[in-house]
Every structure is written in structure tokens, then in C-alpha cells.
Chains A and B, each alone.
Chain A
Amino acid sequence: MANHKELEAIEEEKIQYIVVKIGDEQYGINIALVDNIVRMQKITRVPKAQAHYNGVINLRGEVVPVMSARRKMKLGEDVLTNKSRIIILKLEEQGLVGIQVDEVKEVISLGESEIERNVQNAKRSANSFINGIGKNGNDLISIFEISALVDEVDAS
């Protein structure tokens, strides 16, 4: 019986997440969507763009828009430190999009059994951007719902 349980635990598919810090909280981003992580660099402002976009950066000759996770989730202004990083996501529809975060901590593997999907009242202000809460030891990690975080492709 015990053997059987062990087997099940091993067979459960684990997904790797990049754990980032935004404000006091930790968030997880599915590593399959991440193209690259870059240090802070000069961000060129785009006039008249949506407020949560800091601007665009030059990533190896491509112009990539960078959004502020804090402003998107209404968690206040970005605080720049030397730990700040830009996570470059590579999405099917939107292409390359950068997300500015306060710190990149580690990469963890979580199985579905380690993620609490019932997050209705977990956190009011940001719960529309997450689809679950993972447990990593004593830490709680909110798993980003990327499609909610990143804007839809601008149709016009």
C-alpha cells in the first residue's frame, strides 16, 4: 500500500516555476513561458501607452515592451534596486513581453497536489491574476495566470 502511494507521488507530473518577488509576496511563473531573464537596463518610455507599461527595451536588436507587475496589479510604484530584473516571456499570441519584478529567487518544481487551486478569497486585489497557490516549504507562492496578467493582442 505504502509502495503504491510512493509510486503515485513519483509519477505525478511536476511543473517548474520561476519564483519572483514583487513587494512582500512571492509569485511563480511557469518556466515554459520564460524566454530569458535580464538585468535592468534603460527602458524607453512610450508616450500614450497604457499606464502599466514602463516602456520598451532593446533585447538583442528586438524592441520588447516591458510592463510593471506592480502597477498592473495596483501594488504601487516600482522600487528599483540592484536585484530588480526583467522576466522576458515568450507567448504564442503576444510575442515577447517583459515583466519587471523586484527580485528573482529560485526555480522550484511543483506537482498539482502541491498547489491550492481554491483561491477565491486568498487576496482580493490581485486574485484575478493568479490561478493557484503553491506551497514551497513554509513559503506560499502565488501562481500567475499569465493570460490575465499580459494584455490581449491589440486588435486595432
Chain B
Amino acid sequence: MDVSQYLDIFIDETNEHIQSLSDNIMALEQEPENKDTINEIFRAAHSLKGMAGTMGFKRMQHLTHDMENVFSEVRNDTIKVNSNLIDILFQCLDAIEGYLNTVKNTSDEGTEDNEVLIKQLNDYLNGGGGDAPAAAAAAPAEEAEEKAEEAQTEDASAEEFKTLKLDDSEKGRLKEAQESGLNLFGFTMHIHPECLLKAARAFLVFKALEDYGEILVYHPSSQEIEDEKFELTFSCIVGCAGDDLNAMKEAVGAVSEIQNVECAKVSFEQYDKDGDEAPAATESESTPAPVAPAASAAPAPAAKKETPAAANKKAANKPVTARTVRVDIEKLDDLMNQVSELIIAKNSIVSISSAEAKGADVDQTFREQVEYLERITTSLHESVMKVRMVPIESTVNKFPRMIRDLSRKLNKPMDLVMTGEETELDRTVVDQIGDPLQHLLRNSADHGIEDPQTRIAAGKPEQGTIFLNAFQEGNNVIIQVGDDGGGIDTEAVLNKAIERGLVSPDEAENLSQKEIVDFLFNPGFSMAKKITDISGRGVGLDVVKSNIQALGGDVEVKTELGQGSTFTVRLPLTLAIIQALMVEVRDEKYAIALGSIMNIEDIPTSEIKYVQAKEVIHLRGMVIPLVRLDELLDFEPKEEEPDALIVVVVKKGDSYAGLVVDNLIGQQEIVIKSLGKVIENNKIISGATILGDGEVAMILDANALM
């Protein structure tokens, strides 16, 4: 069966399920008794298993199946959640992610069996709860039941659900559901004989039914359905609070390649009676054989040997899937509407040019249409940009898990508080911001938060708090990462800087707090007294900074000894199109990003002051250094100084600079183009843009001018 066309969807959805599992397992650790969470987990695990099975990834399916068993026992209250279990579950998630990565790179799941994990899971099942062996025995029981039934399948194919043979646990579930007031409905689906993906169709059917209620009984068993071990009919019994049978029938019928659906209300008693007639099935359940561990330990110790070689060979291959952006359908609808408008506008311009109307008339209509066209293209621009925007959620939502692991590893109780996960950024930025943020968080956890004794002594709550706040500010997105820990000892940083010869003791005296802290961003500069595997190798903040700068952003740090420190990451909202102010320096045109501009001032030459032989202006209480752009851009100095200067005041964080330009052209939306790869990366030019008349203009990077 060729499933490669579903690979992208599989990867996307698996990612979502893994994330949902991770979130919910975290929640479960906090509230072990919360039934909603457990149900949510169960559903995600089940979907994972189903998808892996459909795609033919047996090892992945095996692992998720055993996880599902554990969740099922948790749901039945037969085993209790504790942090050991949570640890094992997280390891399982990591293993599933490992499979997923292999799938991404090779479109195959690889050969890692993770038998250790599977064994741990099963040990937990067997040792953790008294009823576990019985649950493990359910599998053979079901098998026996299938065999008993096989003989009857043929004549039972019509309205099969009415004649299902159920085992005790299934009956129990039905009974419980009926007693708790749920309506029971039986379904039998007939699949089109030419259907290629029977399991996928069945899966879709079950998914549709799960919207209405819980599926209590699968026939054949869900495992067999996933393995496609069934003919053209399958059945299930659903317990749901509502009784809208027609809606359910419609939902199931809407799944393509489902030929026919039979359904009716059923009751527990119907099956209870049937059960008596099929003693073979019930009997086999009473043999409590712990089959699951044995079965899971069996596969492939031999296969494991060839793992490294195979993995190495395959790792060299390119990823088989392209990077995708999932787009909200609304955003696409907007795009579609705008494109239709664009076509209408084009048509009316075409008709004007072909019309033989009088001059003035044509002129008027033409201008109107051009304005219309302009409006559409602007909003089209915006929409396309929005399509590229994704919430940073997809990147930051793995952090709570990371902090939990660190907390346990470092023996420091700490909590991560995140806000603004919905803040949107360009997809490229979101993909690449993960590593720097992770690094900052690790720093906070390792160096920032003190151990509990120190904290209590300092009068702080025992549990440390790490925060990650994201929000939009103008054309930037700000992400703050910080902690309420010990803060950075600037004295120690300064000593280290002097020791390493980064600054002479004399110069050191004049450094501001901010300049001292900036030493931390120097390559190889580490303040850790001992190297841990979490941080402290000195390949840290400098990499963070250069990564962020590569994205056109910037990072700053504020710290107060004893109170904690905050790293502020500033990122541009989009990478491709910005609003800019066009200025002229002599006869050349330059663009300055509007986001960095504070205001524009006319400064009489007489008001220029000098501080340390550098030109500054005094503006509303601030002293702002002047940057003569003509000098900076290698023009000959002017022969005559004009009476007044046009100064564009730009800001970056808390620092300002006044750029002296010769002329202002105006505000414009510009498309950023790269200067190519061969021209040396020079800091003051961040790129180029093409103006309306086809001319190229350089974009000045105001940040580099500070």
C-alpha cells in the first residue's frame, strides 16, 4: 500500500499529537486525578497509534500501543500517576519524536525498537497496579473472541452490530455506559470494494463518531482494524449523551468510500444475552497470562545490531519532506478575495484602454482605477505576509517540559510562566528562534535560579520562577526571558573581563553597568565555576547573540544582583517587506526602517554641542550623538555647512543616534533584497531594495550605527 502521499500530513499531525501529549502529561503530573486530561491523553495516544499503524510504522505503533495500555489503566484508576511514570512517559515521547525524525529524513521509521522503554512500560503495568495482568490478558481474549466469531462473519455481515459477541470487559463498558445514562448506538459500515486505504477510512469513521461520543466496542478489534485485518465491513458501538442518530449516520456517510451505513439504537441487554451463547470468548479471558511483556520483548534484538550502520547511511540523505506552513483557511479566503478584486481591477483598466472615450473622462476613471489597484496590492501584500506568520507557540511549547526536566535534574524547584505564546512571527524566524531561547532558559535555570536553601535565606519563595513573555511592539516582536534568581554579579564579570584582557583596569572604571554585562556576549566568556552538561562551556551567549542577529534581531540584558535578570530579544516582525523612510544623502537614496525611527528634527547648526570631541545634540532632555551619514558613506565633506541640519533620530533599545541626511523623500513600503553573496557583509547596509523607477537603493541598518 502506497501511503507516501500522506507522509506530510502524518508528520504534521504526529507533531501535534506529541505536543498535545507532552502538554497533557505535564498537566497530569500536577493533577493526577483530572479525568479530562487523562481522556485527552488517551485520545492523542490512540490517534498516534492509529496513524502509525496506517502508515505501516510498526515499531512506532508498538510503542504507542504500550503507552496507550498504560493510559488506559490510568484512566481505569488501576494504576496511579507518579513522577517515575511521568519520566518514563516523557522518554517514550522522545522516542516517538526520534521515530518521527527518522521518518522525516528517510520516510522510514528506522530500526530502533526501544525495547527498554517498552519493557519499562510493561513492568509498570504489571507491577504498578493489581489489575494490570488482567488488562494484558485482554489481548489474547479478544483474539479468541475473533476466532469464535469468524465462522459467523459471513452471514452476519448485514447489521453486524446486532450480533456482535462481546467479552466481559466490553460488556462491562456497555453496562456502565448505559447505566450512566448514555445512549448506545450500533454501527456497521460497508466499505467500497475498491477502497485502497481501508484502515484509514475506518479511522476517519471512528474520528467522526468520536465527535458525538465514546466508542465502546470495536469490531474487529481496533488493533485489527488498524492492521487492515478485516474485509469490507466493520462495526462499533458508540455511547453518547445525545441521541441524534441521523447526524451521526450522516457524519459517517460523509467519509469517502464508505458505501453503506447501518445503524440503530441498541441496549446492553441485547449483548448480555448473546454473551451467554458464546462461552468460548468469556472463558478465555479468565486465563490471566501476562502476554504483553513477553510479546514486546520478543521482537528484534538481532535487528538492533544493524542500527548504527543503517542510521548513518540514511542520515546522509536529504529530508524527504518539504517545510510547510499550515494556513488558517480564513487567511486563504482573504487572499482569494483580494486576487479576485485584482482581476476585476485589471479588467477595468483593460476596458479603459480599449474604450474610445473622451480624454478627460478616461483620465479620471484611469486614476480611480489605479488608486483601487494600489489599495488591493497593499492588502494583498499584507495577506501574503500573514500567511507566512505563525504563532511562536509551536516553538515555545516544548519549554515547560524542558524546565521540568531541568528542575528534577538540578534539584531546584522551579516553574516556567509563559505569556503571549500566540504572538505571531514569520515562519523562518519562528523556526530558528527556538535554540537561542532554549539556551537563555537553560541559563536561567542553571545560573539564574539559586538552590532552595539560598532562596529561603534570601527571603524568596523556595520555588524559583522563570518567565518567558512575548509581545508585539511596533514592527518588532519582543521576547523576554528571565528569572527571579540571583542576578548577574557585574563585579565578577568585570574582574573576569580584566583577567581575560578584554578591558584594561583603567578603562574598566568608566564602564556602565550595561557595558559590563555585554561582556557576557563575548565568545568563550563563561562565568560558570564548573562546567555542567546544561551550560557553562562558554559557547553560549555569543552564539545566542549571533543567531538572533542573523535573524535581524538583537538581544539585551538587564540584571539586578539578588533580584534576577532579564534577557530581552527583539525580532523584526517580517523579514521581507518593511515600511521605510526614504532619505537622500548627496545624490544617493537610502532607506531607513520606519520601525527604528523615533522622530525627525530640524536642528540649527549652531545648536550642535561637543562631548569628548564628538558632535551631539540636546533634545528634550536627551543627549543624542550625531552621525554624519555623508562622512560615514565616504562622501567628500561639504564645502559649506548649511544653516540647519535634517536629523533623523533612530533608537535601539535605550540608545539613540541622530542621522544627518540631506533630504527627506518620504515613507514607502519596500521589499528587502539581499546584496548577493559576494559583496562583503558590511554592517551598516542591511540590504537593498528596488524603487518604483527601477533604481536600486541601499537600506541602512540603524542598529549598526549606534
Interface of A toward B, CB cutoff 8 Å: 42, 44-50, 53, 55-58, 61-65, 67, 93-97, 150-154, 156
Contacts and interface: CB of A to CB of B under 8 A. Distances in A.
A153 B678 contact: yes
B698 interface: yes
Nearest to B629: A47
7 contacts: A56-B675, A58-B690, A58-B694, A58-B695, A65-B676, A65-B678, A94-B677
| Size category, B interface | 20 to 34
Given A56-B696, A58-B690, A47 B676 contact: no
A50 B696 contact: no
Nearest to B588: A45
A63 B673 contact: yes
Given A48-B682, A57-B696, A63 B676 contact: yes
A55 B589 CA distance: 14
Interface in B662-690: 673-682, 684-685, 688, 690
B1 interface: no
Contact of B684 (A45, A48, A96, A150): A48
B685 A94 contact: no
Contacts of A67: 678
A56 B675 CA distance: 8
Main DSSP-derived SS at the B contact region: loop
Given A47-B633, A47-B698, A50-B680, 6 more contacts: A46-B682, A49-B682, A62-B673, A63-B696, A93-B677, A94-B677
A154 B688 CA distance: 17
Contact of A44 (B677, B680, B698): B698
Contacts of B633: 47
Contacts of A152: 678
Contacts of A61: 690
B677 A56 contact: no
Contacts of A63: 673-676, 688, 690, 696
B634 interface: yes
A152 B679 CA distance: 9
B695 A44 contact: yes
A47 B684 contact: yes
B596 to A, nearest CB: 18
B26 interface: no
B681 A156 contact: yes
B677 A154 contact: yes
Contacts of A48: 634, 680, 682, 684-685
Return the 6 tightest CB-CB contacts between A and B, nearest first.
A48-B682, A44-B696, A63-B673, A47-B633, A153-B677, A65-B676
A48 B678 CA distance: 13
Contacts of B297: none
B690 A46 contact: no
A152 B676 CA distance: 12
